[in-house]
Structure formats: C-alpha cells, structure tokens
C-alpha cells in the first residue's frame, strides 16, 4: 500500500470550500501517526487561480495536487469521478476522504463503487485502533455511537460538515500539477447550461453567534414560533430538532444535527430538547449551553452549562413578557 492519504479539495469559482479545509484537521493527525503523506487533491481549469487562493497558503497538508484541464471548469459528476478514480488507482492511497458537501456526496459513492470499496457516511470522529482506522457516527438509540471500519483500501468516508475545526499548518504546502495520460478520456455526458447563485446566504444558522433552538417539549407550533421573537432580542437564529421540522413547525433548513446543520455559537439555548445524539453532534461545540427541560435526566440537561428545570412554555412566555415591557 502506498504512503499517501488523499483528501478531496472542492474548488468552486476560484475558492476552496471551507469544508475541505476542515477535514484536513483529523486527517493530518492520522497521517502523522501512520507516517503517510497527506495530499489535498484539487480539480480546476486554471492552476494559477489555485495558487492565488490565500486560504490554501496554510492548508494543513503536505502537498496540494492540482489536476488542470479546461474540461474541469464546471462540476460534472461523471467526469470528475473518472478523474478521481484514476488518481486513486495511480496512488493506491491508504485512504480517500471527502467533505460531506453536496459535491462530496455526489462523488465519493461513484468512486467507491468504481473501485469496489466500502464508504462510510457522515463520519464525525476518526480514531486509530492499532492499524485499524475506526470511523464513528451516531446511530439509532439515545447517545449511541457506531464504530465502523472498512475491509477494503483505500478506506473511504465522507466527513460530517462542521464536525472538525480548520487548523493552519506551519508551512506552506507545495502546490504541484499532476498530469493525466495523453489519451485520458475527458468526455462527459453532462453539460452545464446555466447557473444561478442562491440569493439567501448559504446558511446563517451555521455561523450564528446565538442559536435559539426548540424541540417537541415546546408542545405546539404556536409556542415554537415564539422562539423567533426571542431570537430577535438576542440577535440570533432559530434552530430545531428533526421531529419539530417533520411536524411542520418550521422549515427543514433549521434542523440542527446529523441530518441538518452544525452550529458553533457563543450561546445555544435548547427549549424542550431531549438532546439525542443525532441532534447534539450538531451543537456540542457551542461555547455556552443553556437547556430548559422538565426532565433532569435529559442528555441535553447533562451537557448544559446551565440547566433550567421547568416548563419551557412558561419560561418562554415569562421572558418575552418581560422583554416587551
């Protein structure tokens, strides 16, 4: 097996995706323990632009490998995965990892199937047990984490967004061009005809300084909507648990957790939220956590810096009344 670990560097419109830099943090540690080279792999139509991206200057990896070709200007799943599978076959890496962005989720499974290897989804922690790389993700049940491993190489996984914090390296990684053979097939069955940028910000929840979140303990949509009033006073955003979104109390893009957004606010308020692990993996890095719950035994109460044992509706009504007067 070769001496490298590959990470996919999502490069879109001249910028590296922050999610690709995040995943370098755990991979760097693994690569040091196993004495392997960590390579960030970027596909682009212009090497110069990659060199100009300042956020790559201190990327935590040994080398940045760029595959440059005019056909790589647009993201096309079939072509991108053919290129990446080819690179994987050349390097025989120990592992090949992707951020769980929509591009990552589109590419990693195509490559895994092409190579006939396993792929772990939404991994939020990596750990070495001897030679074996253990990948962790929450699973069914309260606070249960599944440890997965792969029997095939390269070990492949998509890493959960927001699960790791970006760290800078001490040296500038070398940026190298990697050439594909003359006869490489650059064709694609896909043509990008038009693009529209989203008008709304990608997600304000994930960068909010204050998150006011609510769960089923709020009992009704009417109560849940009061969180928006409180969020206004605190200059924060409203977040929710999955059952609350499914019940239609709010839109799904407010969901915090493994199926939704990860948040890292200075203040997180949880009204009537039990703290199931699928939710807490998306908020456990909050600086200060306050839980409002009737149940002293709820996991979020245990995690909280301050736990208020009371009826969430009453507390919410009272503070809103006070704030309005």
Partner 1 sequence: MEKIIVCIKGVPKPETVKVDPERHILIRESAELILNPPDKAALEMAMRLKDRHGVKVTVLSMGPPNVLPILKEAFGLGADELILLSDRAFAGADTLATSRVIAQAIRTLAPYSLVLMGLKSIDGETAQVPPETASLLNLPSVINVLNIIYREGKFLVIRETNYGEEELEIEPPLVVSMSPKLDYFRPPSLKRLLMAKNLDYRTLGAVDLSLPEEILGLRGSPTKVAGVFEKVLVQRGELWKGEPEELAERFLELLRVRGFLKI
Ligand X SMILES: Cc1cc2nc3c(=O)[nH]c(=O)nc-3n(C[C@H](O)[C@H](O)[C@H](O)COP(=O)(O)OP(=O)(O)OC[C@H]3O[C@@H](n4cnc5c(N)ncnc54)[C@H](O)[C@@H]3O)c2cc1C
Residue ranges binding ligand X (CB under 6 A): 119-121, 139-140, 148, 215-217, 241-244, 255-260, 272-274, 276, 278-279, 292-295, 298, 311-313
Stretch that binds partner 1, among 56-64, 89-97, 177-185, 294-302 (CB under 8 A): 294-302
Nearer CB in complex with ligand X: 44/124: 124
* Minimum CB–partner distance for residue 103 and ligand X (Å): 16
Q: CA-to-CA distance for 239 and 245, rounded, in angstroms?
A: 10
Q: How many residues does the chain have?
A: 325
Nearer CB in complex with partner 1: 168/252: 252
Residues 56, 67, 160, 210: which binds partner 1 (CB under 8 A)? Answer: 210
For 199, the 3-state DSSP assignment is coil
Q: CA-to-CA distance for 166 and 21, rounded, in angstroms?
A: 6
- Contacted entry of partner 1, ligand X, none for residue 144, CB cut-off 5 to 8 Å set by kind: partner 1
Q: CA-to-CA distance for 80 and 121, rounded, in angstroms?
A: 20
- Contacted entry of partner 1, ligand X, none for residue 299, CB cut-off 5 to 8 Å set by kind: partner 1
Stretch that binds partner 1, among 25-33, 43-51, 59-67, 184-192 (CB under 8 A): 184-192
Restricting to residues 189-208, which ones interact with partner 1 according to CB under 8 A? 189-198, 202
Contacts of 140 (CB under 8 A, 6+ apart): none
Give yes or no for a contact between 276 and 245, defined as CB atoms under 8 angstroms apart. Answer: no
Residues 122, 226, 264, 279: which binds partner 1 (CB under 8 A)? Answer: 122
* Minimum CB–partner distance for residue 93 and ligand X (Å): 19
**Which tokens hold the place of 131?**
């030679």
Nearer CB in complex with partner 1: 64/231: 231
Residues 1, 73, 89, 144: which binds partner 1 (CB under 8 A)? Answer: 144
Count CA within 13 A, CB hemisphere, residue 33: 14
Applying CB under 8 A, the site for partner 1 has a residue count of: 90
- Asked whether the bond before 317 is cis by omega within 30 degrees of 0, the reply is no
Stretch that binds partner 1, among 27-35, 37-45, 89-97, 142-150 (CB under 8 A): 142-150
Q: Is 125 in the site for partner 1 (CB under 8 A)?
A: no
Would you call 198 exposed, middle or buried from its count of C-beta atoms within 10 A (0-12, 13-18, 19+)?
exposed
Contacts of 222 (CB under 8 A, 6+ apart): none
Q: What is the DSSP string of 269-299?
A: EEES----HHHHTTTTT-SEEEEEES-TT-H
* Minimum CB–partner distance for residue 198 and partner 1 (Å): 4
Give the gyration radius of the chain's Cα atoms. 22
Nearer CB in complex with ligand X: 79/312: 312
Q: CA-to-CA distance for 182 and 79, rounded, in angstroms?
A: 16
Nearer CB in complex with ligand X: 274/286: 274
With CA atoms as reference, report the closest residue to 220 among 103, 147, 311, 101: 311
Count CA within 13 A, CB hemisphere, residue 194: 1
Nearer CB in complex with partner 1: 48/195: 195
Torsion angle in degrees (nearest 10) through CA of 190, 96, 112, 74 = 0
Restricting to residues 53-112, which ones interact with partner 1 according to CB under 8 A? 75, 77-78, 81, 101-103, 105-112
Residues 73, 141, 168, 204: which binds partner 1 (CB under 8 A)? Answer: 141
Residues 29, 49, 55, 117: which binds partner 1 (CB under 8 A)? Answer: 117
Residues 54, 182, 201, 322: which binds partner 1 (CB under 8 A)? Answer: 322
């Amino acid at each position: 097996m070769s001496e490298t670990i590959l990470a996919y560097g999502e490069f879109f419109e001249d910028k590296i995706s922050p999610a690709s830099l995040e995943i370098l943090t755990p991979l760097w540690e693994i690569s040091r323990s196993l004495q392997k080279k960590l390579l960030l792999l970027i596909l682009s139509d212009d090497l110069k632009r990659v060199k100009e991206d300042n956020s790559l200057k201190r990327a935590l990896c040994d080398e940045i490998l760029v595959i440059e070709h005019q056909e790589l200007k647009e993201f096309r799943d079939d072509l991108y995965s053919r290129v990446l599978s080819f690179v994987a076959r050349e390097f025989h890496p120990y592992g090949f990892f992707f951020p769980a962005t929509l591009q990552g989720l589109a590419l990693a499974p195509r490559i895994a199937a092409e190579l006939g290897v396993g792929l772990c989804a939404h991994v939020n922690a990596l750990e070495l047990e001897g030679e074996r790389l253990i990948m962790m993700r929450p699973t069914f049940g309260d606070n249960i984490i599944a440890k997965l491993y792969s029997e095939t190489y390269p070990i492949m996984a998509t890493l959960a967004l927001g699960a790791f914090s970006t760290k800078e390296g001490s040296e500038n990684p070398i940026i190298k061009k990697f050439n594909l053979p003359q006869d490489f097939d650059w064709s694609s069955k896909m043509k990008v005809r038009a693009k529209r940028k989203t008008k709304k910000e990608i997600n304000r929840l994930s960068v909010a300084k204050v998150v006011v979140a609510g769960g089923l303990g709020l009992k009704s949509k009417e109560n849940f909507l009061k969180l928006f009033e409180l969020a206004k006073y605190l200059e924060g955003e409203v977040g929710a648990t999955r059952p609350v979104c499914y019940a239609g109390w709010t839109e799904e893009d407010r969901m915090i957790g493994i199926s939704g957004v990860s948040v890292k606010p200075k203040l997180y308020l949880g009204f009537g939220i039990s703290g199931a692990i699928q939710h807490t993996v998306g908020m456990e890095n909050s600086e200060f956590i306050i839980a409002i719950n009737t149940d002293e035994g709820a996991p979020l109460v245990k995690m909280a810096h301050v736990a208020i044992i009371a009826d969430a509706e009453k507390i919410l009504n009272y503070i809103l009344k006070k704030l309005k007067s």
